[in-house]
């Protein structure tokens, strides 16, 4: 049974959920397609009322929504609450701004008049991951529902209660049946949905392997797609950086959501002048984190999302060490119930080590001392991924020059890569394509229709 709630902090099995049969799936797609006809023709103001109500419900019942996140995938309860509120921010942002973002664009042809109109395209299908069980859904559903599309979502198998809670949120907010549909599907059924002619777009957040599979299916069916496929973000510390600030943000960048974040800092690249002191302070801060019940406000280190995730991560560390990496801190399981791993630092990682190319999705930091700024940029770019990155320096103009040379979709200066509704989110290379959030995110799944008015007797 692929849809199961298991508390990763204790290993306790909570419950399982049945996959949809093909008959049920077909009925849900029909409901969504029927809903699109009326939803897409409605006013922005009508859709905005629903989105505002959904955001208000998230704010009013923050703890009710936060607890299933912590229960199902182990996020610290304070971080779960923050995710609920961020999701509300996203829904409110698009409720306020969608109409403006999609206003017709006036063009200026040599003869006559022209404009580009933005209109919805239909039923969209999203495949979403477990690490941010509401935020991922909000950034897919918020802009697309406000644009007049309807959405169907296959969520990750380990967060079924979160998946159902988000579907119920839209129904309680007044969305018609079919506007937002949760689907408990098998992987085989994913291809069936993508191939259905009523589905007009596909969005995935997940691994590069999943992206290749879903993007191939979407391409074979001529469906527009967006892919956000993880990263191996560089956290660059130049010699003029404020060391205390850099260490503080390094801990947050690595350990937010126990390191299970696409834009978590994964490669710490520090210029030699600060390298030893940075490593000492960074290691001490990671070692001081306290594992425990993620529902407890005093806990500072939560579990990994599943036992399988823990086993995979420890295997990556073992292979890295076998290939010559040096273990500075941690590296193993914490002796307590649940899927807890010690915060870990690896260094001495050569370009031939498999760890050099892999994404470590958890509390594992790769540390690289480098000669200078040029070496830091070259190492940051020597990655198959290109999602985010950060640069720490006292000279903001220098930071901007470095950022301009880093090959990613996002670079933050004196702050780890992060997300807010008004900032576009997405990457390049194996981190995928397309953008979510901001004014750019709502443009991905709309038809940009040229409407041209020419004089009756104008030349062709």
Tell me the pTM. 0.97
**Mean pLDDT, the chain, as a whole number?**
97
Q: Which of 228, 359, 436, 444 is catalytic?
A: 228
The 10s digit of each residue's pLDDT in 238-289 is 999 999 999 999 999 999 999 999 999 999 999 999 999 999 999 999 999 9
Average pLDDT over residues 5-23: 97
φ, ψ of residue 299 to 5 degrees: the values are: -70, 135
Of the candidates 193, 192, 189, 191, the one whose C-alpha atom is nearest the C-alpha of residue 123 is: 193
Strand partners, 182: 153
Superfamily of domain 3-229+431-451: Aldehyde Dehydrogenase; Chain A, domain 1 (3.40.605.10)
Nearest to 284 by CA among 257, 250, 237: 250
Nearest one of 221, 211, 153, 102 to 434, comparing CA atoms: 211
Residue 80 has a pLDDT of 98
End-to-end CA distance of the chain: 62
pLDDT tens digits, one per residue of 193-220? 999 999 999 999 999 999 999 999 999 9
Q: What is residue 359's predicted lDDT score, i.e. its pLDDT?
A: 98
Chain segment 147-205, per-residue pLDDT in tens = 999 999 999 999 999 999 999 999 999 999 999 999 999 989 999 999 999 999 999 99
| CB-based contacts of 455, cutoff 8 Å, min separation 6 | 111, 112
The yes-or-no answer to whether 3-229+431-451 and 233-413 have a common fold is no
pLDDT digits (tens, 9 = 90+) for 59-101: 999 999 999 999 999 999 999 999 999 999 999 999 999 999 9
Kindly report the backbone phi and psi dihedral angles of residue 191, in degrees, each rounded to the nearest multiple of 5, phi listed first: -65, -35
Sequence ranges of the domains in the chain = 3-229+431-451, 233-413
CB 436 within 8 A of CB 414: no
**Catalytic: which of 35, 162, 261, 262?**
262
Rounded Cα distance, 435 and 13, in Å: 37
Active-site annotation holds for 262 = yes
Helix (H) or strand (E) run with residue 214 in it: helix 208-220
CATH code assigned to 233-413: 3.40.309.10
pLDDT, tens digit (0-9, with 9 covering 90-100), for 382-406? 999 999 999 999 999 999 999 999 9
Alpha-carbon torsion (147, 386, 420, 82), positive or negative: positive
115, HSE (Cβ side, Cα atoms, 13 Å):
8
Q: How confident is the model at residue 350 (pLDDT cuts 50, 70, 90)?
A: very high
């Amino acid at each position: 049974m692929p849809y199961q709630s298991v508390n990763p902090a204790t290993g306790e099995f909570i419950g399982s959920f049945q996959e949809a049969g093909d008959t049920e799936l077909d009925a849900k797609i029909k409901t969504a397609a029927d809903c699109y006809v009326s939803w897409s023709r409605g006013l922005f103001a009508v859709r905005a009322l629903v989105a505002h109500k959904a955001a208000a419900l998230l704010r009013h019942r923050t703890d009710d929504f936060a607890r299933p996140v912590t229960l199902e995938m182990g996020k610290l309860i304070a971080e779960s609450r923050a995710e609920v509120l961020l999701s509300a921010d996203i829904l409110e942002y698009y409720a306020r701004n969608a109409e403006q973002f999609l206003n017709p664009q006036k063009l200026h042809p040599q003869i006559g008049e022209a404009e580009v109109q933005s209109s919805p395209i239909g039923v969209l299908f999203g495949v979403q991951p477990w690490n941010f069980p509401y935020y991922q859904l909000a950034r897919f559903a918020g802009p697309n529902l406000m644009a007049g599309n309807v959405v169907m979502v296959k969520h990750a198998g380990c967060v079924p209660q979160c998946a159902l809670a988000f579907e119920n949120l839209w129904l309680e907010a007044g969305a018609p049946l079919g506007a937002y549909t949760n689907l408990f599907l098998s992987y085989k059924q994913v291809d069936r949905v993508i191939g259905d002619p009523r589905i007009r777009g596909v969005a995935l957040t997940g691994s590069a392997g999943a992206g290749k599979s879903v993007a191939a299916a979407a391409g074979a069916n001529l469906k527009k797609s967006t892919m956000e496929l993880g990263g191996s973000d560089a956290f660059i510390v130049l010699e003029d950086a404020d060391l205390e600030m850099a260490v503080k943000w390094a801990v947050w960048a690595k350990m937010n959501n126990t390191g299970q974040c696409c834009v978590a800092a994964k490669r710490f690249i520090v210029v030699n002048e600060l390298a030893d002191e940075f490593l000492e302070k960074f290691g001490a801060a990671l070692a001081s984190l306290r594992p425990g019940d993620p529902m407890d406000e005093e806990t500072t280190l939560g579990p990994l999302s599943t036992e399988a995730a823990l086993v995979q991560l420890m295997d990556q560390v073992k292979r890295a060490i076998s290939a010559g990496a040096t273990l500075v801190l941690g590296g193993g399981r914490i002796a307590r119930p649940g899927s807890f791993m010690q915060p870990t630092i690896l260094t001495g990682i050569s370009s031939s080590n498999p760890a050099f190319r892999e994404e470590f999705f958890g509390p594992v930091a790769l540390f690289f001392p480098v000669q200078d700024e040029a070496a830091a940029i070259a190492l940051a770019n020597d990655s198959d991924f290109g999602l985010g990155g950060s640069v720490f320096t006292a000279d903001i103009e220098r930071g901007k020059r470095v950022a301009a040379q880093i090959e990613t979709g996002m670079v933050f200066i004196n702050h780890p890569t992060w997300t807010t509704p008004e900032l576009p989110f997405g990457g390049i290379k194996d981190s995928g394509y397309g953008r979510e959030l901001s004014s750019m995110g709502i443009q991905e799944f709309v038809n940009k229709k040229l409407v041209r008015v020419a004089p009756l007797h104008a030349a062709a």
